[in-house]
Amino acid sequence: MFETFGFEETSARDVSVLLALGVGILFGVLAQLTRFCFRRALAGDDRRQAAGVWAMALAVAVLGTQAAVAQGWISFADHRLMSQDLPLLAIAAGGLMFGAGMILTRGCASRLVVLAGSGNLRALLVIAVFAVVAHATLKGVLAPLRTALGSVTLPLGDHVSLAALPGGPLVWSALIAAAALAVALRSGNRVLTLGGGALIGLLVPLAWAGTGFVLFDEFDPIAMESLSFTSPAADTLFFVIASSSIPAGFGPGLLGGVLLGALTASLLGGSFKWQSFDSPRQTGRYLSGAVLMGTGGVLAGGCTVGAGLAGIPALSLAALLALVFIALGGIGMNSLLIAASSGSAESPATPGQQPAE
């Protein structure tokens, strides 16, 4: 569709940066206002309310994405989420690692980017390490680990998509959306808060359709992308250190937009505040979590947003499994931390102020 706009000196890739910037700004503002975070839905003091916001976003993302598929605007047939050989071991190991890491850092990747934009230097350092490790897992010293785990696959053929199962895409989309809406409506959130979650969910099909339909150029194609943070973090790192050699893409635009949106919302709302680490022990905990998230996010094929919020609406079995293993890893690590805290007479049972609180 892009070639019909008549642009002669602007490529689809260039426009995708602007699209990503706009989507990122909106996500940053909305996530700052709603405190959108999957970790909070698992282990936060207000987990019920946090789960409601996340579920509302998922319901809207599923309905919007599948509506775009039904209209013929986009297709996931050749997308990496639909690889017919399911890298089950990589997804399981990566999901568990990412889930454990987000508990150690007290925030999933998307939440930490938002916190970094609102003045949290702890979150900023975590995201920097997360990006370095993700890039190392994609193309650097940790790539052999990714290749080895990714070689253990389960051949599923067409059944890698829930749409290929009995009932088809309509039934599975309705089931997921209905379950998510039930969680959202029972969460006790205000209508305005749930509305913010719904708008976050709407950004998912907006980005899918924007990159996969509006900016589709058969002469110079770009990847169809939506909200995610693992690959964009690695891409942003590479762009920052080599911008004279490589052009910006969707990832750097998205990450920059989220930072800008969160910064704007926190300044206007009076919540911007410089924060840093309290002790070397706390620093070690967060850096360990960043390493786990960076490695795990690549192995699992995405984070809670990339695999979960954006991947599940594609009806990808791989994305669904990734989110399940992320949740299991998070619950397991949270249980270990609670047990360690209760069994230690030297450590206080109640943790101090943390980035995602």
The residues spanned by each domain of the chain are 12-343
Tokens 């990496």: give the residue: 80
Give the chain's count of helices (H) and strands (E): 13, 2
Whether the Cβ atoms of residue 317 and residue 129 lie closer than 8 Å to each other: no
CA angle centred on 294, ends 288 and 300, rounded to 5° = 125
- Which tokens hold the place of 231? 């690959």
pTM: 0.92
Q: Report the pLDDT value the prediction gives residue 70, as an integer from 0 to 100.
A: 95
Counting Cα atoms < 13 Å in the Cβ hemisphere of 319 gives 25
Q: Can you give the C-alpha Rg of the chain in angstroms? A: 19
pLDDT-derived band at 21, boundaries 50, 70, 90: very high
Whether the Cβ atoms of residue 43 and residue 183 lie closer than 8 Å to each other: no
Q: Is 275 helix (H, G, I), strand (E, B) or coil?
A: strand
End-to-end CA distance of the chain: 44
Q: Which amino acid is at 30?
A: L
> Torsions phi, psi of 187, nearest 5?
-80, -15
Distance CA 6, CA 348 (A): 64
pLDDT tens-digit series, residues 112-153: 999 999 999 999 999 999 999 999 999 999 999 999 999 999
pLDDT tens-digit series, residues 31-69: 999 999 999 999 988 899 999 999 999 999 999 999 999
pLDDT-derived band at 216, boundaries 50, 70, 90: confident
Q: Which amino acid is at 137?
A: T
Residues β-bridged to residue 316: 161
Distance CA 349, CA 181 (A): 35
- Which tokens hold the place of 265? 């919302």
Distance CA 128, CA 109 (A): 11
Q: Report the pLDDT value the prediction gives residue 3, as an integer from 0 to 100.
A: 56
Handedness of CA 154, 157, 163, 164 (dihedral sign): negative
Whether the Cβ atoms of residue 270 and residue 263 lie closer than 8 Å to each other: no
Residues 6 or more apart in contact with residue 263 via CB below 8 angstroms: 28, 117, 118, 272
Is residue 347 over pLDDT 70? no
309 to 39, 198, 221: CA distances (angstroms): 13, 12, 24
pLDDT above 70 covers a percentage of the chain that reads 94
